[in-house]
Each structure stands twice: as C-alpha cells, then as structure tokens.
Amino acid sequence: MGLRFAGPSKGIAKRVFGVDCNGVEAAADLTPDARRNNSLSSVGRFLVLGSLAVVVVAISLGFAFNGAWLVLPFAGLGLLVAAMEFRYLERHAGDCDCKTVRGDQVVIKFWDRESVSRFEFNRNWAQVVFREPRGKESGRLTLPSHGNEVEFGIHLTDERRAAVACRMKEHLRIR
C-alpha cells in the first residue's frame, strides 16, 4: 500500500479513529495510491502453490496406498480451490485507487484488472466522509457530491483509511 503525499506540512489538531491528524500535508495537488498488499510476487505465489500441491499429493497418495483412496478426490478438490484463489490474487494484484486534487477539481481513478474508472468532482462541493468501523464491519472512506458517492481506499486498512481521510479533509480546505 503506497501512499504518496507531496508538498509542505501544515498541521491540524484532530484525531480520527485514533490517528493523529497533526502534520497533515498540503500542496497544489495530492495523489494518494491505495494498493493491495502483495506480499508475494508472481513467482512466490507459484512456488507456494507448487509446494502446497507437492505436500498434499504426497500425503493423499500415502493414504490411498493404505486403502483410503477417497482422500484423493478431496485432495484434488482442495488443490483446485487453492489454485483458483491464487489465480484471483494474481489477476487482481495490480488493482489500485488514485485520487488527485488539482485546482478546483477532484479526480478519482480506479484500476480493476484491466479496466479504469474515472470520476470527477468539483472541489467546492466534494466532501470527505469517513465512517468508523463498527463490529466486524470495516470503515468506509467516501467522497459524496451532488448525489454521487464514490468509495475510496477499499484496499487499505482502517487505520490507513482514517489517515487518508484526515489528509484529504485538510487538503480540500486549503486554497
């Protein structure tokens, strides 16, 4: 999850979701990127899946040779599900959100696999709304304006989302 903020610091005294908003950065434009946490590379994912397959096949063959041959279809089904999960992770590894504030315009872009969605708002009407997490439900960071609402930072943790909300609220106020 890379967050890039450009410009000089300007602080506000406020806390959101336990995040201190002092030292909020402001500039002519701000571009935070909210990316997935890809702790494994493509090769790493392939090696983990291959290692898992070797271990599962070895154990299931051991059971099959001892007469419990019904273990083989279930082991194969488990490997199929794991392979589908790893494929999903691989296909969505590059997903990210990007928000840019430049002049009187707020531009939000979403990259989901190969498609790009773009939303533009007038800076004077755009608001930053952060709803803190409740129970098992995670927090939400949205930008509502003129009846449209766009959620940002779905790949971020609640703490990061709160920090981005602080920075965006302050940045939208700065002229």
Which pTM was predicted? 0.61
Q: What is the pLDDT of residue 16?
A: 39
How far, in Å, CA of 50 to CA of 29, rounded?
A: 45
Q: What is the pLDDT of residue 30?
A: 52
Position 76 confidence tier, pLDDT thresholds 50, 70, 90: very high
Q: What is the pLDDT of residue 32?
A: 57
Most confident listed range (55-59, 109-113, 139-143): 55-59
How far, in Å, CA of 121 to CA of 84, rounded?
A: 38
Least confident among 12-16, 42-46, 115-119, 171-175: 12-16
Average pLDDT over residues 125-148: 83
How far, in Å, CA of 58 to CA of 100, rounded?
A: 52
How far, in Å, CA of 107 to CA of 170, rounded?
A: 17
Two structure tokens written together for 172: 């939208």
